[in-house]
Amino acid sequence: MASTFIIGRSGNQPFKITADSVSNEHARVTIDNNGVWTLEDLDSPNGTYIRNASGEFNQVYKKIISEDTVIRLGRGGHHGCIFTGHQLISTPGDYSYEFRNLKKALARQQADEAMMQAKSERNGWISKCSGMAAIAICALLGSIDGINIDPNTRYILIASAPIIVGLLFRNDKAAMAQLRQKRQKLIVCPKCGRPLSEFDVENMICPSCKAR
Ligand SMILES: [Zn+2]
């Protein structure tokens, strides 16, 4: 059975929208007989957006979506409205489906962060050990007849080895910061959009708006 939702301040979606940058008839979602979801912007002045895997919202005009797609109508914050496609077909006020998805998203996020952390620690050790390696190489070279490293060169080599090796791994910090940013954008309340703690996700309730 195909169904069509006109979404907006005077739309027929099963939840109320009052945000001031959302039009009366802002967007349309059609679910066809094959279960294909299509989202269309109805020439709204403030636009229709969907969230990508990194948590950024991109403007769309007509797009195939899924019931897990996070949709934003209008501007961000209090001026717009953010909801998951599933909200159109669920009992109003029931966010259990979204919280179950959040649990999965959090598990993926934790795995990514743990992998990055391990990589960064390993690289940290390599940087630390490189000073020792430089000492060993100097000693080795010094033991070969005919090669004479003067003390200044030796000092510079040993002191700069960890810095040079550290530079090779400088992207680790940036990647970790990016992961934390992603967590802030993805692990958020499906109703009010505020960031949720791991505890909140585990308990499947938002402490701010009490959505569950
Ligand atoms: Zn909330």
The answer as to whether 152 is a domain residue is: yes
* Residue 78 scores a pLDDT above 90: no
CA dist., res. 105 & res. 33, Å (int): 29
Q: Residue 168's pLDDT is what?
A: 79
In a domain? residue 211: no
Domain end residue (candidates: 61, 88, 115): 88
Q: How many CA atoms are closer than 13 Å to the CA of 83, on its beta-carbon side?
A: 26
**Domain endpoint, select from 58, 88, 118:** 88
Residue 50 pLDDT exceeds 90 = yes
- Matching residue, tokens 């895997």: 53
Q: Using the mean position of ligand 1's atoms as its centre, give its distance from the Cα of residue 202 in Å.
A: 14
> Which of the 8 DSSP states describes residue 188?
B
Domain assignment of residue 84, yes or no: yes
138 in the same domain as 198: yes
One domain, residues 108 and 72: no
**Residue 1: pLDDT over 90:** no
196 Cα to the center of ligand 1, angstroms: 8
Once rounded to an integer, what is the mean pLDDT over residues 22-32?
Answer: 98
Q: What is the pLDDT of residue 124?
A: 85
CA of 27 to the centre of ligand 1 (A): 23
Asked if pLDDT for residue 63 goes beyond 80, the answer is yes
Task: Give the whole-number percent of the chain exceeding pLDDT 90.
Answer: 69
In the reported structure, the alpha carbon of residue 170 is separated from the centroid of ligand 1 by a whole-number distance in angstroms of 36
Cα–ligand 1 centroid distance for 124 (angstroms): 39
In a domain, 31, yes or no: yes
CA of 116 from ligand 1 middle (Å) equals 29
- Same domain for 120 and 173, yes or no, is yes
Whether residue 180 sits in one domain with residue 106: yes
Q: 46 and 117 share a domain?
A: no
Are both 138 and 196 inside the same structural domain?
A: yes
Q: What is the C-alpha separation between 165 and 92, in angstroms, rounded? A: 56
Q: What is the predicted pLDDT for the residue at 138? A: 80
Contacts of 84 (CB under 8 A, 6+ apart): 67, 68, 69, 70, 71, 97, 98, 101, 190
Residue 70 lies in a domain: yes
Contacts of 42 (CB under 8 A, 6+ apart): 6, 8, 23, 25, 26, 27, 28
Q: Distance from the CA of 200 to the center of ligand 1, in angstroms?
A: 10
CA of 78 from ligand 1 middle (Å) equals: 13
Q: Which residues contact 156 (CB under 8 A, 6 or more apart)?
A: none
Contact status, residue 6 vs residue 29, Cβ threshold 8 Å: no
Residue 208, domain member (yes or no): no
Ligand 1: centre distance to CA 195 (Å): 8
The CATH number of whichever domain residue 23 belongs to comes to 2.60.200.20
- Same domain? For 198 and 101 the reply is yes
For 24, the token pair is 């009366």
Whether residue 198 is predicted with pLDDT greater than 90 in this model: the reply is yes
Q: Tens digits of per-residue pLDDT, 163-193? A: 888 887 778 888 899 999 999 999 999 999 9
- What does the pLDDT average to over 41-66? 97
User: How many structural domains does the chain have?
Assistant: 2
Q: What is the pLDDT of residue 106?
A: 97
CA of 93 to the centre of ligand 1 (A): 11
Residue 209 lies in a domain: no
Based on the fold, state whether residues 103 and 195 are members of the same structural domain: yes
Residue 91 alpha carbon to ligand 1 centre in Å = 17
Q: How far is the CA of 92 from the centre of ligand 1 (A)?
A: 15
| Domain closes at, from 65, 88, 111 | 88
Same domain as 144, residue 109? yes
Same-domain pairing of 106 and 30: no
Mean pLDDT within 100-104: 96
Give tens-digit pLDDT for 109-168. 999 999 999 998 888 888 888 888 888 888 887 787 777 778 888 888 888 888 888 887
Which of residues 197 and 129 earns the better pLDDT score? 197
User: Residues 102, 8: one domain?
Assistant: no
Q: Residue 37: which domain range? A: 3-88
**Cα–ligand 1 centroid distance for 44 (angstroms):** 26
User: pLDDT at position 142, please?
Assistant: 77
User: From ligand 1's centre to the CA of 204, what distance in Å?
Assistant: 11
- State the pLDDT at residue 172: 83
Decide which of 45 and 150 is more confident: 45
44 and 103 in a single domain? The answer is: no
